[in-house]
Amino acid sequence: MRIVLVGPPGAGKGTQAAFLAKNLDIPHISTGDLFRANISQGTALGVEAKGYMDRGELVPDEVTIGMAQDRMKQDDAANGFLLDGFPRNVAQAEALDAVLKKDDMQLDAVLDLEVPEDEVVKRIAGRRICRNDSAHVFHVEYNAPKTEGVCDVCGGELYQRADDSEETVRTRLEVYHTQTEPIIDYYRAQNLVVTISALGKVDEVTARAMDALKK
**Residue 58's pLDDT is what?**
85
Span 57-86, pLDDT tens digits: 889 999 999 999 999 999 999 999 999 989
Q: 101 a known binding residue?
A: no
Contact 34, 64 (CB under 8 A): yes
Q: 131 a known binding residue?
A: no
**In the chain, what's the furthest Cα-to-Cα distance?**
56
Q: 149 a known binding residue?
A: no
Residue 110 bridge partners (DSSP): 4, 193
**Residue 166's pLDDT is what?**
93
3-state secondary structure of 46: helix
Residues of the chain with pLDDT under 70: none
pTM over 0.95: no
Any idea where the domains of the chain sit in the sequence?
Answer: 2-214
**Residue 103's pLDDT is what?**
84
**Residue 24's pLDDT is what?**
94
Span 3-27, pLDDT tens digits: 999 999 999 998 999 999 999 999 9
What is the second-level CATH architecture of the domain 2-214?
3-Layer(aba) Sandwich (3.40)
Rounded CA separation 195/152 (Å): 36
Q: 58 a known binding residue?
A: yes
Residues with a known catalytic role: 13, 88, 127, 161, 172
**Residue 44's pLDDT is what?**
96
**Residue 215's pLDDT is what?**
82
